[in-house]
Amino acid sequence: MTTMDNFPLVSVIVPIYNVELYVKECILSVFAQDYQHIELIAVDDCGTDNSIAILEELFKSNPQNITCILLHHDKNRGLSAARNTGTKYSHGKYILYLDSDDALQPFAISHLVNKIKATDSDIVVFDFYSDEENKGIGGNLCDKVSLLNSNAECIHGLAELWFPVTAWSKFLKKSFIENNQLEFKEGIINEDAPWTFQVCLAANSIAFLNEKLYYYRYNPNSITYMSDSKKRLVNESNMIALQIFHDEIVKRPDLWENKDIYILFMRQIVIYFTMSAKQFGFRFYMKRFSGIKQLKYESSWFEKSDIPTSYKIWNKSFRSPKIISGIFTYFLIWIQQLKLS
């Protein structure tokens, strides 16, 4: 067996955009890995601070002599485009997405390689930690599951929220990405949710590694403090994500009677309209509700009783006059919010 077989190349893809405060910690965490066969691909997404200058100095030092590649966009294109660019020009057998304000544990890549080799899975999902664990950010990996070994199980795991939807909590075979033509949707903010949905629709095996291998830096600039223009961009992104969910399902009639698919789709609908109501109020909500594209996805689950009550109500709403059902669901959202408060 060759050295390459024992230590396959891992491509770590790091989008770079205005992260001068954190990029050094991020890159040094890659240099500190106890696994050396790494290709570090940084994608310059045309920020305005000193991130790239800091990065270039770090690449010069490179104490472990890791292969370092810096790619440049000609204009700011966003996180999705940067990840897609890095993936396109990567050479590794495996892919790991690392956000440039986060960091890896020194043993992260070696443990991930060992796990994916031992299970021969398409993907390894793993745990993470954060300074904000008391807010429920960490510990989102189900500790009762070790391997999902069929496409149906992978979809079920996503529906049951057994692992986060974040791209950076997944270690993937590049061949799996290429064979299924998986890309991040460009031009939206919440790219991870539709991407993970597409990943799970394609996957036949997902292994679980219950180790906190990744440091996630909590972003205090939550939607609560966003400008109206940023909130509208988030809202548009959620609408596009919902459309991606819908279109992917429509392409797979064999999944229309799958309860997990139904739950995933209805969850996305509720997320989108709940955020619309809370962020922009009644008039905006009614405009969105009235303008939603007619659903082409039909399933007997829309009529069955073995589903959450809230989903039953939404089902009937989409098959009722838009004005009446829009008003009803708008007030339903706020009634549910009052119950939670």
Last residue of a domain, one of 216, 251, 277: 216
pLDDT at residue 1 in the model: 45
Same domain, residue pair 96 and 197: yes
| pLDDT higher than threshold 50 for residue 222 | no
**Which tokens hold the place of 16?**
């770079």
Q: Which domain holds residue 287?
A: 223-340
Same domain, residue pair 51 and 160: yes
Average pLDDT, the chain: 87
Same domain, residue pair 239 and 191: no
pLDDT at residue 107 in the model: 98
Domain count, the chain: 2
With beta carbons less than 8 A apart as the criterion, state whether 179 and 91 touch.
no
Same domain, residue pair 194 and 306: no
Same domain, residue pair 310 and 287: yes
Question: What percent of the chain is modeled with pLDDT above 70?
Answer: 86
- Range picked from 133-142, 265-274, 285-294, 308-317 for highest mean pLDDT: 265-274
| pLDDT higher than threshold 50 for residue 115 | yes
Same domain, residue pair 184 and 246: no
What CATH code is carried by the domain that includes residue 25?
3.90.550.10
Same domain, residue pair 31 and 166: yes
With beta carbons less than 8 A apart as the criterion, state whether 57 and 18 touch.
no
Count Cβ atoms below 10 Å from residue 179 Cβ, excluding itself. Answer: 11
Same domain, residue pair 9 and 154: yes
pLDDT at residue 234 in the model: 84
**Which tokens hold the place of 259?**
């309860």
- Nearby residues of 114 by Cβ (< 8 Å), 6 or more positions away: none
The CA dihedral of 89, 91, 94, 99, to the nearest 10 degrees, is -40
**Which tokens hold the place of 28?**
């040094």
Same domain, residue pair 175 and 50: yes
**Which tokens hold the place of 221?**
């600039």
Nearest of 79, 94, 67 to residue 43 by alpha carbon = 79
Amino acid 266 reads M
Question: What percent of the chain is modeled with pLDDT above 90?
Answer: 58
Same domain, residue pair 193 and 246: no
- Nearby residues of 305 by Cβ (< 8 Å), 6 or more positions away: 312
Same domain, residue pair 181 and 235: no
Confidence grade of residue 319 (pLDDT, cut at 50, 70, 90): low
DSSP reduced 3-state for 171: strand
Tell me how far apart the alpha carbons of residues 266 and 318 are, in angstroms, rounded to a whole number: 11
Last residue of a domain, one of 187, 216, 245: 216
Same domain, residue pair 17 and 107: yes
Nearest of 275, 82, 258 to residue 184 by alpha carbon = 82
Tell me how far apart the alpha carbons of residues 283 and 38 are, in angstroms, rounded to a whole number: 52
User: How many Å separate Cα 231 from the centre of its chain?
Assistant: 19
Last residue of a domain, one of 168, 196, 216: 216
